[in-house]
Amino acid sequence: MRIGLTYDLRDDYLAEGYSEIETAEFDGEDTIDALANAIQALGHQPDRIGNIRHLVKRVAQGERWDMVFNIAEGLHGYGREAQVPALLEAYVIPYTFADPLVASLTLHKALCKRVVRSFGLPTPEFVLIETEKDIEKVALPFPVFAKPVAEGTGKGVTPASKITSQRQLKQVCRDLLTEYRQPALIETFLPGREFTVAIIGTGAEATVLGMMEIVLRADAEAEAYSYRNKKLYERLVQYRRVRQGELRESLEALSLSVWRCLKCRDAGRVDLRLDANGKPNFLEVNPLAGLHPEHSDLPIIATLEGVAYTEVIGRILESVCRRCHLPFHQATQPLSNPLVR
């Protein structure tokens, strides 16, 4: 197959004057190299397209692909992760990961939690702060946890995110509203262990690839998988594989229920945390998970489970082919290090 690659290259946006934090979710050349190498190793022809502006030009010129491997995050609005999928749907081009509806819903963490809760699945109580006037309406018991409603990669999550007083709540909400120019999500703080679960596949065929516990080291920012902790994870975070047992079974059951009720596709991650009774709760879902072979959570989980990066990419392509009724084949030789060819 001829497979197009759509992505937001971080260096492009930095060159245009966007800041480090504005481009934090975008990808580097090494991620694109790894994806292209894996796709080629699987017997397909990768074609680097780039961001949505490049995609618009090429489809307007009449170019088409058998499939597009889309990891473009977009830059503006709640629908930013839906922009490339919507354009590809308009031209009837199969693509990886969430459709426009799911991409928009899951980016807005409050709306996503409402849907998850409507299916009877556990998630912390929450309030959405859209203006400073809403702060007075928060009736949740302290401590609570605050973060921007539609950001990823830990943006806006700091040690101040765990809030223990009304005074702190006002200050943190004001800071988030001002800096991120979007509502702040306030949730009941859960004191238990935190996990992220990697899922491969779609609907009834979706399975758990693996999961890991996120353990913060002594020098890490406390009690939050923050932007800084993620950025410096090799020094500040320990990732522990979750072994077979009752806990793993309960994490697996909740994450698959969330994945299926939200209609996520192909691959992604579900973030969970235990409450005071040791019961898993849904925090958020990432249907467009990072795919750097060494630094992104989903490939890290695959490595902990002994699954090669190229095999992960192959299983994503297979999921797309199954749901789009495309013929699927792949080479049989896995690429041990996709960054080196």
Q: What's the mean pLDDT in 270-294?
A: 97
| One-letter identity of residue 329 | H
Q: How many residues does the chain have?
A: 341
State yes or no: pLDDT of 337 exceeds 70. Answer: no
DSSP string, 92-156: T--BSS--HHHHHHHHSHHHHHHHHHHTT-----EEEE-SGGGGGG--PPSPEEEEETT--TTTT
pLDDT score, position 330: 64
Q: Where residue 327 falls among pLDDT bands split at 50, 70, 90?
A: confident
Q: What is the pTM of this model?
A: 0.94
pLDDT score, position 153: 85
pLDDT score, position 223: 85
- Which of 185-199, 221-235, 309-323 shows the lowest per-residue confidence on average (mean pLDDT)? 221-235
State yes or no: pLDDT of 138 exceeds 70. Answer: yes
pLDDT score, position 152: 87
State yes or no: pLDDT of 328 exceeds 80. Answer: no
pLDDT in tens, 219-262: 999 888 999 999 999 999 999 999 999 999 999 999 999 999 99
pLDDT score, position 234: 92
What is the rounded average pLDDT for all residues in the chain?
94
pLDDT score, position 331: 56
